[in-house]
Amino acid sequence: MATLFIIPTPVGNLEDITYRSVRLLKEVDLILAEDTRTTKHLLDHYGIEARIESYHKFNEHKKAALLAQQISNNQQKAALVSEAGTPGISDPAYLLINRCLEQQIEVETLPGATAFLPALINSGLPCDKFVFEGFLPHKKGRKKRIEWLCQEERTIVLYESPYRLVKTLQQLAEYFGEQRQASISRELTKMHEETLRGTLAELSRHFQDKKIKGEIVLVVAGKGKGTS
């Protein structure tokens, strides 16, 4: 049966992958990878030999329908993996899943690694209700989105680039208030994993003159839930 498996991959530590994920990666006919070099490193680590093809945000509009047709015509079993974490969480997946469903292809998503859940739980902020925003708009619509989020009462989870982190903290402090509590996790599951907690103002000052590396998850308390 033609099937597309959505398979999470480790966000850092290569041990953070399920037995089932490794088995399926060995069994599928084709692996669609956001970053073929990163995926090849993972496959080599687990002794997996499979055909790999690139599938990322710059070619997904061109390739999604073609790949779905190929999987359907050849009755293939294919796997979609992102560079790290679960495909579809701020990574390409939606278009291919949509096209596969149109072709009556079975889609099966495996549970597994993602960066925002460990960061949310580790933040110490309420995690019974939260909103995941992914990346804020870089330019157009950014100010409007931040203004809207400052009224959000649930805990807010954001992804951010190390190059924009200080700017984002300063903007959030301006609209949310400097005393709003927040947490920053970076390099999750890696050797230099770090989580820092404090007010938006404190975190902004901490990172002001530092060279920041690694993937960033920013967790901010909802309105009325985190001021000191």
What is 3-109's CATH number?
A: 3.40.1010.10
| CATH number among 3.40.50.1580, 3.30.1360.120, 3.30.950.10, 3.40.140.10, domain 116-220 | 3.30.950.10
CB 82 within 8 A of CB 90: no
List, in sequence order, every beta strand (DSSP E) within the chain: 3-6, 30-33, 52-54, 77-81, 106-109, 130-135, 155-160, 181-186, 194-199, 216-220
Beta bridge partners of 21: none
Domain boundaries, the chain: 3-109, 116-220
> Model-level pTM?
0.92
∠ at Cα 126 (219, 215), nearest 5°?
Answer: 20
Beta bridge partners of 109: 6
**128-187: pLDDT as tens digits:** 999 999 999 988 999 999 999 999 999 999 999 999 999 999 999 999 999 999 999 999
**56-84: pLDDT as tens digits:** 999 999 999 999 999 999 999 999 999 99
